[in-house]
Each structure stands twice: as C-alpha cells, then as structure tokens.
Amino acid sequence: MSLFRTASPAPTPTAPPGPTIVVALNPETADTDVLAAAVAAARRHRLSPAQPRPYFLRRRGVLHGKHAAARVSDGPLARLDLDAMRQSAVAAAGAQWRWWHHIVEGTPVARPMWSFADRHRTQPERYPYRQAESDYAAQPRILAMAAYNAMPQHWPLPLSALEAFQAGWSTYLNLAWLSAVCADGLITADGRWRTTATERLSDQVHYLNGANAYLATLTRTDHLVALSLG
C-alpha cells in the first residue's frame, strides 16, 4: 500500500513513517473507546500492528497558547482542522514540485516502474524482473531524482510520486489536497476498507475521489482516528 504523499522539508534525515490509515467512527463511540475501536477496526482487515499517530491538525481555539495548532491522533471533526491540513499540503506541494522541476529539467519523461513490471509479467522468461528494475533505474529522469535523494539535504523527491510529478504543477497540487486527510487508506464508520488498488496514479485518484467524497458526508460529531501501521 503506497500512496502519493507530499514530503515536507526536514532539517535532518529521518526514517520514513509506515503507512498511515484513517478510521472513521460514529459519534456514539465514547471518547474512552475511540482508540480501541479504531485498532479493532484495523485488525478486522488484518492491518496490524496499528499505533495512534499524531496526524490531524487541531482546530485553533480548542487549545490556548502556543500549542493551539498541535497535531493529534484523533478527535471529532468539530475539533479537527481538515481545511488547514489541506492548505498546508498544497503549499508544500507547490514548492516541492518547483524544486523537482528544477532537478529534472532537461531530462525526458520517464516511465513508472509498473510499466516495466507489466512487461515482465507478460514475458517473465524473456524479460526478468531484475532487468525491469535495471531499465527503470537507468532512465535519465530517475537517475536525476535518485542522485538528488542521495545528497545530504533533505527534501526528498519520492520516486513513487513520479507520475504525479510528471502530471504537472496543477495536478500535483490537486493530489496534495486530495491526499492530505485520507492518507494511505480509510476505514469507514460501517467497517469498509478503502485504499488504492495499485500504485498507478489513475488508481490512486480513484481512491482519493471516493475517500474525500465519503469524508464530506461525515458530521461534526463523527470521529477520525489516525493509525500508523508497521
């Protein structure tokens, strides 16, 4: 499970977090039972181990003082600032896309890894998977991104976002908005599991469209819980 995500600049290299999922819960769930109910929902889909992750921005005014914009792992929608999360993701995506464009300028459009994997699946003996990986990595644009990522900066340019980068600035920002809250997967209040079918951008967009449409149906008293897997 891997979804388009906008990376934020960090002063030092850090280990990438595991996949993040969002669990929706009905308002009838008592506050003391929210985390247990979310973990249980994840386990029903064999998504474990699952731990709470500070992911959502708390709405300003819920807390007073310098910690008013702290990130929390859960809460009713009335206490979460999903609009601010989306706006922040879009701002970061705009800067990241411009930097990516600078790094890969002059290189031809690259093919995503799944296109090489598809060829391997249709011709496994004539086209080994190792050759597919080698051909993918040898593309000038992939080499440019990989070389940049190897430098001790760090505002990484994820290779998994290749299709999103290449789709253009506007699309990249739209994807950042769409993925800011939905994360890598979503469990609905009635227990349905939603995520992207594959890493292809078209499948990711299909998931994000459906997940955001579902979030728009929730009320201010419905709860969201963010869990980190692995």
Q: How far is CA 217 from CA 74, 176, 178, in A?
A: 18, 20, 15
Domain extent at residue 182? 20-229
Using CA atoms, how far apart are residues 52 and 20, in angstroms rounded to an integer? 9
Q: How far is CA 71 from the centre of its chain?
A: 16
Residue 26 lies in a domain: yes
> HEC profile for 73-101?
CEEEHHHECHHHHHHHHHHHHHHHHHHHH
Residue 179 lies in a domain: yes
Contact 177, 86 (CB under 8 A): yes
Residue 12 lies in a domain: no
DSSP state of 58: B
Q: How far is CA 210 from CA 126, 134, 193, 203, 220, in A?
A: 39, 35, 12, 11, 19
Residue 118 lies in a domain: yes
**Domain count of the chain?**
1
Residue 169 lies in a domain: yes
Residue 13 lies in a domain: no
Residue 3 lies in a domain: no
Q: How far is CA 190 from CA 25, 89, 144, 194, in A?
A: 8, 28, 45, 12
Q: Assess whether pLDDT exceeds 70 at residue 148.
A: yes
pLDDT at 111: 97
pLDDT at 30: 57
Q: Would you list the DSSP string of 133-185?
A: HHHHHTSHHHHHHHHHHTSSS-----GGGHHHHHT-HHHHHHHHHHHHHHTTE
pLDDT in tens, 59-76: 876 555 554 568 999 999
Using CA atoms, how far apart are residues 73 and 11, in angstroms rounded to an integer? 24
Q: Assess whether pLDDT exceeds 60 at residue 16.
A: no
Q: 103: closest CA among 142, 129, 74, 131?
A: 142
Q: How far is CA 134 from CA 37, 129, 130, 147, 186, in A?
A: 44, 9, 6, 15, 34
User: Within 10 Å of residue 60's Cβ, how many Cβ atoms?
Assistant: 11
Q: Assess whether pLDDT exceeds 90 at residue 190.
A: yes
Is the model more confident about 25 or about 2? 25
pLDDT at 61: 64
Q: Given pLDDT bands bounded at 50, 70 and 90, which one contains residue 1? A: very low
Q: Is the backbone peptide bond immediately before 112 cis, with ω within 30 degrees of 0? A: no
Least confident span in 20-24, 34-38, 53-57, 152-156: 152-156
pLDDT in tens, 45-61: 999 888 999 999 998 76
pLDDT at 13: 40
Contacts of 144 (CB under 8 A, 6+ apart): 103, 104, 107
Mean pLDDT of 21-40: 87
pLDDT at 32: 67
Q: Assess whether pLDDT exceeds 60 at residue 225.
A: yes
Q: Assess whether pLDDT exceeds 90 at residue 10.
A: no
pLDDT at 49: 86
Instruction: Please give the mean pLDDT across all residues of the chain.
Output: 89
In the chain, % of residues over pLDDT 90? 80
Mean pLDDT of 4-30: 67
Residue 200 lies in a domain: yes
Q: Assess whether pLDDT exceeds 70 at residue 36.
A: yes
User: Within 10 Å of residue 168's Cβ, how many Cβ atoms?
Assistant: 12
